[in-house]
A and B are shown apart, each in its own frame.
Chain A
Amino acid sequence: MKNNRQKQINRLNRMLIYVILIFFSVVSLLPLYWVFSTSMQLDHYQDIDMERPVSYVDSNPPKMYPMGFKLYFEHWKEAREAEKVGDSELAEHHRGMMSHIIDNTFYTFKSLFTNHDIGRWFINSLYIAVIVTFGILLFDSMAGYVLAKKRFPGRDVIFWIIISTMMIPGQVTLVPMFIMIRDLGLMDTHWALILPDLSMVFGVFLMRQYMYSIPDELIEAAKIDGASEWKTYWKVVLPLAKPGLAALGIFTFMNVWNSFLWPIIVLNSAELHTLPVGLKTLQDANLASFKLLMSGAALAAIPMIVIFLIFQRYFVKGLTLGGVKE
Chain B
Amino acid sequence: MMKRKLVVVGNGMAGIRAVEELLKLAPELYDITVFGAEPHGNYNRILLSPVLAGEMTLADIVLNDLGWYQDNGITLHVGKKVTKIDRVKRKVIADDGKGNLTEAAYDRLLLATGSTPFILPVAGNDLPGVIAYRDIADTEAMIAAAANHKHAVVIGAGLLGLEAANGLRLRGMDVTVVHVMDWIMERQLDQAGADMLQASLESKGLKFLLGKHTEMLKASPEGRVGAVRFKDGSEIPADLVVMAAGIRPNTALAESAGLHCHRGIVVSDTLQTFDPKIYAVGECAAHRGIAYGLVAPLFEQAKVCANHLAQHGIGRYQGSVTSTKLKVTGVDVFSAGNFSGGDGTEDIVLHDKSGGVYKRLVIEKDKLIGAVLYGDTADGGWYFQLLKEGRDIGAVRDRLMFGDAFANNHVGDAGHAGGSKAAAMADEAEVCGCNGVCKGTIVKAIREHGLFSLEDVRKHTKASSSCGSCTGLVEQILASTIGGAYQAADRSTKPMCGCTDFNHGEVRQAIRSMKLLSMDAAFKALDWRTPDGCASCRPALNYYLISTWPHEAQDDPQSRFINERAHANIQKDGTYSAVPRMWGGLTTPDELRRIADVAEKYQVPTLKVTGGQRIDLLGIKKEDLPGVWKDLGMPSGHAYGKSIRTVKTCVGAEHCRFGTQRSMSMGVELEKMLFGMWSPHKVKLAVSGCPRNCAEAGIKDVGVIGVDSGWELYVAGNGGIKTEVAEFFCKVATREEVLEYSAAFLQLYREEAWYLERTVHWVQRVGLDSIKQRVVDDAEQRKALHQRLLYALQGIVDPWLERTEGVEAHEFQPVRVPADAAHA
Chain A partners chain B: no
Residues of A participating in the B interface, judged by any CB pair closer than 8 Å = none
